[in-house]
Amino acid sequence: MTKRSPIEIRPLSPAVGAEVVGLDLSQPIDGESFGRLVQAFTDHCLLVFPAQQLEPAAQWSFGCLWGEPLVVPYLAPHAVTGFPGILRVPNMGKAETLTENWHFDSAFFEEPPPIAILAAQELPPIGGDTMWSNMYRAYEALSPAMQLLLGQVRAAFTGTRVDDGERRDVVTMHPVVRIHPVTGKRALAIGRIESVPHLEGMTPDESRPIIEFLYRHVARPEFVHRHHWRRGDVVMWDNRCLLHYAVHDYGDAPRLLHRMTVLGAPCT
């Protein structure tokens, strides 16, 4: 591979995130530089690559370095032409947005995908930030008694899948405390209250106070980094240890991101 200039990793907050400077994602990345990215991703869970202006082909190549792109057949109408694993994420209006809440992606999948990559294409003149919250920190801040309780239960995550053209409701059980397969660290795994109806073995009435407490807990400011999008930004994050929240405060202004979801663990 072509040798690239040295890169710099700049932490964005004490809780989560780092900015990567000195790397052009549209060009081949040498092994040493990619190794630094893997380590930075492990350490910070969220990487921001400023001013990339990434085209779909380059985003696809970069994503493939981390694993196999996720292709969902029923989402094909939303895909970028020629790149079935890159989805267009436009401004659908506040009433139609599904991501203005704390969540991790595809929580109702049997194995939720580990990595997501967003490339900014068009941004509103103001607003449209995205927030990420560190679930390692959220777990560590719980009392030992609460950690013990949550370590023994799973939560029901609901969603909708399309099989053979027919929509069906899905309920999948996942541990409320999951162990990251790379770091071995424990992280909370919770989502928006509407999609987590109860904890396994508990009634909805018994579950609700715990779920509501956790949803408030994960939003504590000391766990969170709020990203103000800039022209050409590329942001990737670890869906196994972060929650995110897309703030829809920009009305009808145009906003377009290209999203790629990647399966499999980071390469080493």
Active site residues: 103, 105, 244, 259
Please choose, from the candidates 163, 191, 162, 188, the residue with its C-alpha nearest in 3D space to the C-alpha of residue 177: 188
How far is Cα 246 from Cα 123, in angstroms, rounded to an integer?
13
How far is Cα 42 from Cα 267, in angstroms, rounded to an integer?
11
Using the structure block, give the residue that is written with the tokens 């350490």. 43
Please choose, from the candidates 45, 101, 39, the residue with its C-alpha nearest in 3D space to the C-alpha of residue 238: 45
User: What's the gap between Cα 148 and its chain centre?
Assistant: 26
How far is Cα 94 from Cα 240, in angstroms, rounded to an integer?
27
How far is Cα 254 from Cα 91, in angstroms, rounded to an integer?
6
Lookup: tokens for 44: 């910070």
Please choose, from the candidates 60, 78, 57, 82, the residue with its C-alpha nearest in 3D space to the C-alpha of residue 69: 60
DSSP H helical segments within 65-143, as ranges?
A: 135-140
Contact (Cβ atoms closer than 8 angstroms) between residue 41 and residue 47: yes
Please choose, from the candidates 11, 55, 27, 33, the residue with its C-alpha nearest in 3D space to the C-alpha of residue 234: 55
Using the structure block, give the residue that is written with the tokens 């609901």. 158
